[in-house]
């Protein structure tokens, strides 16, 4: 599913980097399998709203079924950060809860340990060190998710 998502995201622009894949225990509703998480850095001509619409369409194409908050899902694609702070109903960028989640911050800081929160300039890596203990395990190299030269 992650490979299919990364291939679909590649059609939205140019993939610049893919983090390692991490497995993490679910937050909230615990009676579900571990989540697998990856961060993809993309250069795109899409504005943030169009990008969010596009990734949500990818979720639908990949079979995401609406359930309940924090429940099981086939795929969940978020826009974590854009060039600037965006405060609208959708999207809110940076993602409003990413600073609380090791499963977001660990792969994000793997891609760029000096990346900063555009709201206050703090480094996401420093925020990661303050996240309460969350089980997170590296399970794969993100490069294995990239499309090969033949598409």
Q: Are 22 and 136 in contact (CB under 8 A)?
A: yes
What is the model's pLDDT at position 88? 66
| Res 151: pLDDT | 47
In a domain, 43, yes or no: yes
Domain assignment present for 150: no
The whole-angstrom distance between residue 104's C-alpha and the CA centroid of its chain comes to: 6
DSSP state, residue 116: B
Structural domain count, the chain: 1
Contacts 24+ apart (CB under 8 A), 5-8: 5/58, 5/62, 5/75, 5/77, 6/38, 6/40, 6/145, 6/146, 6/147, 7/147, 8/58, 8/61, 8/62
Structural domain span for residue 132: 2-144
pLDDT of residue 96: 79
pLDDT at 22: 93
pLDDT computed for residue 27 by the predictor: 76
- How high is the pLDDT of residue 41? 94
Tell me, yes or no, whether 124 lies in a domain: yes
Q: What is the pLDDT of residue 76?
A: 84
pLDDT of residue 10: 94
151 falls within a domain? no
Output the domain CATH number for residue 94. Answer: 3.30.70.560
Task: Indicate whether 149 belongs to any domain.
Answer: no
pLDDT of res. 89: 66
* Contact call for residues 84 and 118 (beta carbons, < 8 A): yes
The tens-digit pLDDT sequence of the chain (151 residues) is 889 999 999 999 999 999 999 998 877 777 777 888 999 999 999 988 899 899 999 989 988 887 767 666 778 888 888 876 666 666 677 877 888 888 899 999 999 999 988 888 899 999 998 887 778 889 989 888 888 754 4
């Amino acid at each position: 599913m992650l490979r299919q998502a990364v291939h679909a995201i590649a059609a939205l622009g140019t993939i610049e980097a893919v983090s390692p894949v991490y497995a993490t225990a679910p937050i909230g509703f615990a009676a579900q399998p571990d989540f697998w998480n990856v961060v993809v850095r993309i250069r795109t001509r899409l504005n943030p709203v169009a990008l969010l619409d596009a990734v949500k369409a990818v979720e639908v194409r990949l079979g995401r079924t609406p359930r309940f908050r924090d429940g099981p899902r086939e795929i969940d694609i978020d826009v974590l950060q854009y060039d600037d702070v965006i405060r609208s109903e959708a999207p809110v960028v940076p993602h409003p809860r990413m600073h609380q989640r090791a499963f977001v911050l660990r792969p994000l800081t793997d891609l760029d340990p000096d990346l900063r929160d555009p709201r206050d300039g703090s480094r996401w890596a420093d925020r990661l060190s303050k996240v309460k203990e969350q089980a997170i395990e590296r399970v794969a190299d993100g490069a294995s998710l990239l499309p090969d030269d033949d598409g």
